[in-house]
Structure 1
Amino acid sequence: MEQHRPQDFQMNEMDAMKEYATATVVSTAANFIMERDEAFTHTYRTYVRLREQGEIQLRFWFSNAVDSTWDKGAVARGGQFGGNWLIEAAFAADGGTGRDGGVPAQSQVPVTFGGSLTRLVRPGETFWSDPVEMDLPPNHDLAFTWTIASGSGRSVPYNTEQMLVTAYDAQGKHADEVEGDSFVPSENLLVMPAWIGYKKQGTRRMVFFGDSITQGVRTAKDGYEYWVARIADGLGAGYDIWNIGSGWARAYDASGNGAWLNKAKQGDQILIALGVNDIDIGERSAEELLGDLSTIVSLLKENNSAVDIILFTVSPFNFTGEREHIWRRVNEALRTSPPAGVSRVFDIAAVLSQPAPEEHRLRPEYMSSEFDPHPNGLAGAAVSEAFLKWYME
């Protein structure tokens, strides 16, 4: 079968995105891929809070590629294509407020693809749904449900991490089921479109491009208390916020110029917060990490010379030994001589770090647990407050 790079599809398709704003701050970046020994049919239902409710027109965009590398890349690597799979049915619905696995009767609206209820998906392909009209009451979630079928082998890219939203899944075809009796709670399994948009023109798209710390991992499920979500609340719906933070992601994933970076390229302003996993599991030197960040900035500028790029310092992650030295060298370089093309640097490390000489360590009150330096919801509040003040200067 003929293979295509994701860019081959996106260049024309992404023009449609200009008519829509990003509907949710939940990241659906893909960092893993389904791999089964046998054929399967499965249904997934996810509840997400939209930035605005009421009478809205939604569209869903899909990307059949892995965005970033998981662990050491034995299963999923940044830029890897998904397999062949079939969307058997998809629905958008009023998710209510209970998140109990069901949806209100008569609220489900079919999601179609060129008028068809089904869609065969090819490796590396990107594509749009048709527009979906909904009237979502205030403070109600959107529920997205779809049934996916595939043969054996690798198929659907998805996000695996601690769940930041409530989701359910069921064996078999249950996309049209409203009661939710067949569904069980999902764990570490977020199977969603790559982007959810609603028709809204004239907003500036800010793309937050980072790892699990950007994604919001280890904050409360359905709490929307991570710093990207809080920044979005602070700026209001007049700003289009797209969170493509991805657990275990690293700068060298993005520097490969694949599907993940092509998502970032859709921003008018791109905010890059990478480096923790490069230093940690990626075992990159300071020079390699800074080189990858420079490559990312260069590629973004080549795509759009007018794009505004904000770079974050690398968050403290309780590194020791050589990793601590790399973290210090990288942050010193970012503060004093960031890559050409960067307009400003936001010093997130200064917000989260302990006082010197322990600035490589996260403040204890910001730890998600005694042993886990992922920032918690309190840290999200601190970062968003500092960022909003800095951003508006």
Structure 2
Amino acid sequence: MLREYSSATVLSTAANYIIERPEAFTHTYRTYVRLREQGKLELRFWFSNEVDSTWDRGEVAKGGQPGGDWLIEAAFAADGGTRRDGSVNPDSRVPVTFGGGTSRLVRPGETFWSDPVELTLPDGHDLAFTWTIAAGSGRSVPYNVEQMLVTAFDAPGKHAEDAGAEAFTLSEKKLVMPAWIGYRKSVKRRMVFFGDSITQGVRTAVDGYEYWVARIADGLGPDYGVWNLGSGWARAYDAATDTAWLHKARQGDQVLIALGVNDIDIGERTAEQLLGDLTRIVSILKSNNPAVDIVMFTVPPFNFSGERERVWRRVNEALRTAPPEGVDRVFDIAAVLAQPAPQEHCLRPEFMSPGNDPHPNGLAGKAVAEAFLAWYKG
């Protein structure tokens, strides 16, 4: 990443799915994002045409899979206001350009930057990012298919220039965004939070920014850059293949790794396999930058039972007592979220999401952030 820019939002835009259609299409996407700061900003957008992590069992999307050929027909940054109703301030729209052009053909596996964009956002107002994408049949654009954590709209056809909401409908499980939103900002430390849906913040309130990465960023303030690379269904063995997702994590001065739930669950990894993957991730990061600071999180409780519970216990015991070589510190997130022994493999009831879902809720995000900030600053 360009060192004079820092991550402008705590929203994760990691890609865990890919658009696949039997026919050509043209579609417009508009997303409202709270930035770390408002006022007069110089923004840049970075794009990656590759799936970051595996969704479910990988029938459709796997980590490291390249996207297809597609075209950015037009893109705009604008003042999204506070209503998030599908409209933008018409006088605030600024074209996002690429080498001076308003369109950009994207090739499989490609990464690229936008030109700088100057935009002024009043206090409390969201950035609205709108773009029209066109693609042929087959696989094309990587995106995030998890529960929406911000308000977004989409519309068939070319509507990037529309200020009004008439053409748009509310998006569901369809976050189609650049891989990174940055703003010109000098920071004390570039922190990358590298994890799964629990890091991403899934099941917390839409537009609430209640998840622990967001709360930690608020507690540290904007002088600390925070890039959230949480991705739903992600697992350590996705990262251990050293493709696009881990390449993103390499940009941090400090990488905070919170993986393991999906490896134990859908991945059915043994403790030895999971610890081996975590060790490889740390080794790759340290080889890339020996000075990078690595913080390993214990695996959060996820109401496992049977063999999965036994693996969870063995992995966390190892992380607490003998973490992978190269890990500088370990934060025990499991201890914050868990019920008292002997039920420490289960999430505390007040931290459960609706429907007995063990994804930590906003209250859990508050508890984790408070514990982490006290530990981190101490």
1:186 alignment counterpart: 171
Structure 1 residue 142 displacement after superposition: 0.1
Matched, 1:93 2:78: yes
Q: Deviation string for 1:264-292 (max 9, x for gaps)?
A: 00000000000000000001000000000
Q: Where in structure 2 are the equivalents of 1:195-234 lying within 5 Å?
A: 195-234=180-219
Structure 1 residue 195 displacement after superposition: 0.2
Matched, 1:56 2:41: yes
1:34 alignment counterpart: 19
Deviates further, 111-120 or 197-206: 197-206
Matched, 1:103 2:55: no
- Among residues 314, 317, 332, which one is paired with 2:302 in the alignment? 317
Q: How many residues align?
A: 378
Amino acid in the other structure paired with 2:161: D
1:256 alignment counterpart: 241
Give the whole-Å Cα distance in 2 for the aligned partners of 1:156 and 1:323. Answer: 34
Structure 1 residue 136 displacement after superposition: 0.6
Q: Deviation string for 1:276-321 (max 9, x for gaps)?
A: 0000000100000000000000000000000000000000000000
Does structure 2 retain, via aligned residues, the 8 Å contact 1:69–1:76?
yes
Give the whole-Å Cα distance in 2 for the aligned partners of 1:200 and 1:262. Answer: 22
1:341 alignment counterpart: 326
- Among residues 261, 269, 277, which one is paired with 1:292 in the alignment? 277
Deviates further, 90-99 or 370-379: 370-379
- Among residues 120, 137, 159, which one is paired with 2:122 in the alignment? 137
SS at match of 2:320: helix
Deviates further, 362-371 or 142-151: 362-371
- Among residues 335, 339, 346, which one is paired with 1:354 in the alignment? 339
Amino acid in the other structure paired with 1:164: L
Structure 1 residue 203 displacement after superposition: 3.1
Give the whole-Å Cα distance in 2 for the aligned partners of 1:84 and 1:335. Answer: 45
Does structure 1 retain, via aligned residues, the 8 Å contact 2:89–2:163?
yes
Amino acid in the other structure paired with 1:386: A
Deviates further, 101-110 or 255-264: 101-110
SS at match of 1:372: coil
Q: Deviation string for 1:179-235 (max 9, x for gaps)?
A: 110000000000000000000124310000000000000000000000000000000
- Among residues 154, 166, 175, which one is paired with 1:169 in the alignment? 154
SS at match of 1:123: coil
Structure 1 residue 42 displacement after superposition: 0.2
Give the whole-Å Cα distance in 2 for the aligned partners of 1:172 and 1:179. Answer: 15
Matched, 1:117 2:94: no
Amino acid in the other structure paired with 1:194: A
Matched, 1:147 2:129: no
Matched, 1:127 2:131: no
Does structure 2 retain, via aligned residues, the 8 Å contact 1:250–1:276?
yes
SS at match of 1:45: strand
Structure 1 residue 369 displacement after superposition: 1.8
2:62 alignment counterpart: 77
Superposition RMSD on alpha carbons, in Å? 0.5
Q: Deviation string for 1:38-72 (max 9, x for gaps)?
A: 00000000000000000010000000000000000
Matched, 1:237 2:222: yes
Gaps of 5+ in 2: none
Deviates further, 200-209 or 153-162: 200-209
Structure 1 residue 106 displacement after superposition: 1.5
1:8 alignment counterpart: none
Amino acid in the other structure paired with 1:237: P
Taking structure 2 as the reference length, the TM-score comes to 1.00
List structure 1 segments (4+ residues) > 2 angstroms apart after TM superposition.
none
Give the whole-Å Cα distance in 1 for the aligned partners of 2:327 and 2:290. Answer: 11
Structure 1 residue 370 displacement after superposition: 3.7
2:286 alignment counterpart: 301
Taking structure 1 as the reference length, the TM-score comes to 0.96
Give the whole-Å Cα distance in 2 for the aligned partners of 1:202 and 1:49. Answer: 19
Amino acid in the other structure paired with 2:4: E
1:5 alignment counterpart: none
SS at match of 2:52: coil
Does structure 1 retain, via aligned residues, the 8 Å contact 2:186–2:223?
no
- Among residues 297, 314, 317, which one is paired with 1:332 in the alignment? 317
Does structure 2 retain, via aligned residues, the 8 Å contact 1:21–1:203?
no
